Amino acid sequence: MNSIYALIRTDGGIRFRDGTPDQGTGAAFAVQRATRGGHGLHGDAGDVRGPADTHLLNRIATLVVYALGGPSRCVFGDLAIGGDRFESGSGETTPCGLTEAQQHLIRDVHDAICENAEAAEGGDTGPSAASGERDDRHSGRGGAGA
């Protein structure tokens, strides 16, 4: 099974990466609980700080988690979303990579939230063009290693 996870940065951009997210001392929580024979989602929020050592609110990630049925709570820092798989023998869930369907769902929800935010604000919510960083949000790509 793959080990793909989604990373939603504090600037609102999204990337899908292969591997294990390095989230440091952040908080982990269930986004969608895995049910018998199924898959779920979990989030791991990083401890990203801004000026004056304040935690950076990740507004886009907060809205994505809520839209996916996760807890109504603010997400601070970068958010990694990974998969969970229900283990029928033990009755517990274990972390795993995102399925293709989960990747598409997260991308679709993220894109819809960003488009609504841009329309409401009249501007872009992603990285500035001056940064030179590629943002996969609107490219239709963003698979592993993006």
Tell me the CA distances in angstroms from 88 to 31, 37, 38, 94, one per residue in order: 20, 7, 10, 11
Closest CA to 2 of 126, 114, 95: 95
8 Å CB contact between 133 and 125: no
DSSP labels for 70-114? Answer: --S---BS-EEEEEEEEETTTTEEEEEPPPHHHHHHHHHHHHHHH
Averaged over successive runs of 10 residues, the pLDDT of the chain (146 residues) comes to 85 92 70 85 77 77 95 91 85 88 96 87 47 38 42
Question: What is the distance between the alpha carbons of residues 105 and 102, in angstroms, rounded to a whole number?
Answer: 5
Tell me the CA distances in angstroms from 135 to 116, 138, 146, one per residue in order: 17, 7, 9
pLDDT of residue 50: 59
pLDDT of residue 27: 74
Name residue, tokens 């907060």. 62
Tell me the CA distances in angstroms from 122 to 14, 110, 111, 118, 125, one per residue in order: 20, 17, 16, 5, 10
pLDDT of residue 12: 94
pLDDT of residue 1: 45
